[in-house]
């Protein structure tokens, strides 16, 4: 199960810096590569606006 980024993303990059496997990129807003995501939840905890959720 990967994480997804909601439309409330503010593109701050906190999740990108937190992801231990580099599965998140900023493309206007954060985008999680579901194939690379290890479902650790680090990004979810790092997001200051709660835009990242487990699918």
CA pair distance 37, 44, nearest whole angstrom: 12
What is the overall mean pLDDT for the chain? 95
* Mean pLDDT for the stretch of residues 3-20: 96
Asked if residue 5 has pLDDT above 80, the reply is: yes
Would you state the pLDDT for residue 1?
72
**pTM score, whole prediction:** 0.89
Domain 3-49, CATH = 3.30.70.20
Would you state the pLDDT for residue 8?
96
Q: Where are the domains of the chain?
A: 3-49
Secondary element (H or E) of residue 42: helix 42-46
CA pair distance 41, 27, nearest whole angstrom: 20
Asked if residue 55 has pLDDT above 90, the reply is: no
């Amino acid at each position: 199960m990967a994480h997804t980024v909601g439309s409330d993303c503010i593109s701050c990059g906190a999740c990108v810096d937190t992801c231990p496997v580099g599965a998140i990129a900023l493309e206007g807003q954060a985008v999680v590569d579901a194939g690379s995501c290890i479902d650790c939840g680090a990004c979810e905890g790092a997001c200051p606006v709660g835009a990242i959720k487990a699918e």
